[in-house]
Amino acid sequence: MIDESVIEATLAAALRTGGDFAEVFAEERSSTGARLDDGRVEDLSSGRERGAGIRVVSGDTTGFAHTSDLTEAGLQAAAQAAAAAARTGGGGVRTVTLRRVDAPAPTEVSVFPETVAKAGKVALLRRADEAARSEGGPIRQVTAVYGDSRRRILVANSDGLLAGDDRVKTRFAVSSVAVGDTGMQTGRESVGATVGFEFFDKVSVEDLARTASRRAITKLSARPAPSGSLPVVIKQGSGGVLFHEACGHGLEADHIAKDVSVFRGRVGEMVASPLVTLVDDGTMGPEWGAIAIDDEGHPARRNVLIQDGVLTDYMWDWLRARKEGRASSGNGRRESYQHLPMVRMTNTYVLAGSEDPEEIIRQTPHGVYVAQLGGGQVNTATGDFVFGMTEAYLIEDGRITEPLRDANLIGNGPEILRNIDVVGNDFAMGPPGTCGKQGQGVPVGDGQPTLRVSALTIGGTAR
C-alpha cells in the first residue's frame, strides 16, 4: 500500500517537533451492497475508499490528521499537521526502523466477493424473496439485503511496529412483514461472517428467509407480554448483545479511566454468578468481530474478562495500556482512517455451562423465553439498560407456550450477572452486529448458551 521508506520518512516527520510516539494507519476499503424490496432491486451499489490517518502523541496530548493522498507529499503534510497539534517544541531528528509483525489470519478466504458478478449476488436475493413468500398468504412484504466488504490495513509506528491485515466480510439479511387480523408483524433473520463468497456454500438463503417469515406469522397470534419481575430464559446465541451492552462496554479501559463504569476498581472481586465466564476474543474466526491485528497493529487476543464470576481484567488499547505500564489487549479499533482508535470489543461471549437447555425450561414453572433480542440502551456508569424483545414466548408449567408481543427487558448489568442461576451446554454465536461508540461503528460478534436470569423486569402491557 505504501513503501516502507515512505512510512519511515513520514514517522520521522511526525516526530520532528518532539512527539513521544507517532503512528501511520493506512487502509484501502471496497464494498458491494444490494437490496431487493417487494421483488424489485431497489439498490445495487459499490464503493472504494483509501487514505491514511497520522497520530502523534506528546505527553497527554494527541494530534491527529488524515488524508486521502497516499503520496509521500500527502503523508508528510498530514504528519506535520498532526505534529503541530501535539507540538512540545522538543525538536531534533528521530529515526525509526520498522520491523514487521505477523499475526495469523482468523480465517482463510476461498472466493473473494469482488470476483463474483453482481448478477450472482442479486440471484441470492431473488431466491430468498421467493422462499420467504412461500410461507403463506400473510406475508405481504419481503426485503432481502446482501453486503460484502474487503478492508486492507497497514499500521506502522515509531516503536518500530509494522503490521497489516486483509479483512473480508460477507453478510445477508431477510425481513418479512406479515399482516393479519391483529395487525402487522415483522420477522427478521441475518447472518454474516469474516469469510468470502464461499459463505453461501454453507448458508442457505432459503432457510434464512423462511425463518424470517415464520417469525412474522407466529407473532400475528401473539398475546400481550406480562409486566413485572419474572424469570427469563434466553435462547442460545440470541442474548449475547445483552452482555455486550450491559457489561461489555463497562469493561472497556477508557470508561474505567473516565470513572463512568460500575466495574471501576473491582478487578479481583466477585461481580457475577460463579457460573459466568465472559470472554472477548478477536481470534475467533470466522465470527463477525474476528481480526488478525487490531487497528493499532497489535495481534488479536482471547481475553478472559470475568472468570467464574470474578472480574479478572479490562479491555485495553495502546494509549490506555501505555499509561498503566502494561501491554495492549488487542482492543484498539477504529471505524476508518479518518478516526482515532479507541477501546472496542471484538467477539464477546459467555462460555457454555453443563445444563441441558430443555431441562432449564422444564425447571422454570413460570417465566418468559426470549428467542430474539432487538436494540437497546445502556448507561455504563450505572449499568441500567433497556432492550427490546423481538421474539419471545410465555413459559407455563415448564413448557414454552404462547408467543408474546414485542416488549422491553429492563434491568441492570451487574444484577443480571449475579442473577444468572443456570447456564446451558449449547453455546452459539448470534447474528453479526455493528457496535456504535462516540460516533464510530465497528463490526462485532456476541454469543452465549441458553441461560436463565432468576429475575428480570418485563415491560409488557398484560396484568
* Cα 103 from chain centre: 21
Whether residue 112 has pLDDT greater than 60: yes
Q: What is the pLDDT of residue 460?
A: 81
The rounded percent of the chain whose pLDDT value lies above 70 is 98
Residue for grid cell 528521530: 94
What letter represents residue 382's amino acid? Answer: T
Total Cβ atoms within 10 A of residue 260: 15
The mean-pLDDT minimum among 70-74, 97-101, 441-445, 450-454 falls in 97-101
Total Cβ atoms within 10 A of residue 95: 10
Q: What is the pLDDT of residue 95?
A: 58
Strands (E), 314-365: 332-333, 342-343, 347-350
Whether residue 143 has pLDDT greater than 80: yes
Total Cβ atoms within 10 A of residue 85: 17
Q: SS3 helix, strand, coil % of the chain, rounded to 5?
A: 20, 45, 35
Q: What is the pLDDT of residue 374?
A: 86
98 grid coordinates: 520498522
Angstrom distance (rounded) from CA 329 to CA 303: 7
| CB-based contact 285:199 (threshold 8 Å) | no
Angstrom distance (rounded) from CA 158 to CA 322: 14
Angstrom distance (rounded) from CA 387 to CA 373: 7
* Cα 98 from chain centre: 31
Domain residue ranges of the chain, discontinuous segments joined by +: 227-459
Whether residue 256 has pLDDT greater than 50: yes
DSSP secondary structure letter of residue 431: -
Average pLDDT over residues 448-452: 98
Mean model confidence pLDDT for the chain = 94
Average pLDDT over residues 269-294: 97
Report the alpha-carbon angle 33-37-41, nearest 5: 55
Average pLDDT over residues 187-211: 97
Confidence of residue 91 (pLDDT cuts 50, 70, 90): very low
Confidence of residue 79 (pLDDT cuts 50, 70, 90): very high
Burial class of residue 438 in the structure, from the number of CB atoms within 10 Å of its CB (0-12 exposed, 13-18 middle, 19+ buried): exposed
Angle between the N-to-C axes of helices 72-85 and 4-15, in degrees from 0 to 180, rounded to the nearest 10: 20
Peptide bond into 286 cis (omega under 30): yes
Q: What is the pLDDT of residue 89?
A: 47
Whether residue 246 has pLDDT greater than 90: no
pLDDT in tens, 328-373: 999 999 999 999 999 999 999 999 999 999 999 999 999 999 999 9
Whether residue 87 has pLDDT greater than 80: no
Q: What is the pLDDT of residue 102?
A: 86
Q: What is the pLDDT of residue 172?
A: 98
Q: What is the pLDDT of residue 189?
A: 97
Average pLDDT over residues 4-25: 93
pLDDT in tens, 340-349: 999 999 999 9
3-state secondary structure of 255: helix
CB burial string 50-80: b at 16+ within 10 A, e below: ebbbbbbbbeeebbbbbbeebebeebbbbbb
Q: What is the pLDDT of residue 397?
A: 97
Confidence of residue 81 (pLDDT cuts 50, 70, 90): very high
Write phi, then psi, for 363 (nearest 5 degrees). -90, 10
Q: pTM to 2 decimals?
A: 0.94
Angstrom distance (rounded) from CA 54 to CA 26: 9
Residue for grid cell 505527553: 59
Whether residue 296 has pLDDT greater than 60: yes
Angstrom distance (rounded) from CA 130 to CA 133: 5
Q: What is the pLDDT of residue 437?
A: 93
Which residues have C-beta within 8 Å of that of residue 79, sequence separation ≥ 6?
10, 11, 13, 14, 22, 24, 54, 56, 65
pLDDT in tens, 262-277: 999 999 999 999 999 9
Total Cβ atoms within 10 A of residue 89: 7
Average pLDDT over residues 311-324: 96
The span from the first CA to the last CA of the chain, in angstroms, equals 62
pLDDT in tens, 372-417: 998 788 888 888 999 999 999 999 999 999 999 999 999 999 999 9
Which residues have C-beta within 8 Å of that of residue 109, sequence separation ≥ 6?
168, 195, 196, 198
